Amino acid sequence: MKTATHNSYLESLAGRALLLLAFCWAATDVAADSRFAPVANDKWQAECGSCHLAYPPQLLPAVNWRNIMSRLDKHFGTDATLDVATAAAIRTFLESNAASGKRAAVSAGTLRMTETPWFLREHREVDARIWKSTAVKTAANCGACHTTASRGDFGERGIRMPR
């Protein structure tokens, strides 16, 4: 009898904890949004992370990834060609984890996430001078400001603005 009461007390505690968790989840929508689930793919990490950050797939919609992957020989002024099997595996990975929701509001021809409406909106307060500074050089250099970018974390706490 005593155990039963104890159990139901624990159960109601667990229920409350869940409710609280759900509430926090909803309240921290913005913070959750700046963290991209650390999806992992060895080929993608090795091949797409050798010249720059392996940009999280959640940053561009599937059609835009497809367009990037179909033109690797002319990749932003460089040749990033891969063998057919590796390219296909990476393409599948990118497409199946691609942007949805508000980050998907991008025209199909856009190859740069740094030109998407969400990127421009999130960065509208960054001084034009900083983008061109020697520490940053290009907006594509996420890690210059987002110190935790390689973990897929673009949250405010990881930001250190260069001077």
Question: What tokens does 97 get?
Answer: 């984890």
CB–CB of 143/150 below 8 Å?
yes
Interaction mask 103-132, ligand HEC, x per CB under 6 A = ---------xxx-------xx-xx---xx-
Strand partners, 159: 146
Total residues contacting ligand HEC by CB under 6 A comes to: 39
Task: Examine residue 8 and tell whether it contacts ligand HEC (CB under 6 A).
Answer: no
Nearest CA among 29, 77, 31, 36 for reference residue 53: 36
- In the bound state with ligand HEC, the residue whose beta carbon lies nearer, of 11 and 115, is 115
Which of 4-12, 16-24, 75-83 is the region at the interface with ligand HEC (rule: CB under 6 A)?
Answer: 75-83
Torsions phi, psi for 30 (to 5 deg): -65, -45
Separation of alpha carbons 121 and 163, rounded Å: 22
How many other C-beta atoms are found inside a 10 Å radius of the C-beta of residue 31?
12
Question: What tokens does 67 get?
Answer: 């367009």
Task: Examine residue 102 and tell whether it contacts ligand HEC (CB under 6 A).
Answer: no
Task: Examine residue 70 and tell whether it contacts ligand HEC (CB under 6 A).
Answer: no
- Interface residue list for ligand HEC (CB under 6 A): 30, 33-34, 47-48, 50-52, 55, 59, 68, 72, 75-76, 78, 80, 90, 112-114, 122-123, 125-126, 130-131, 136, 138-142, 144-146, 154-156, 159
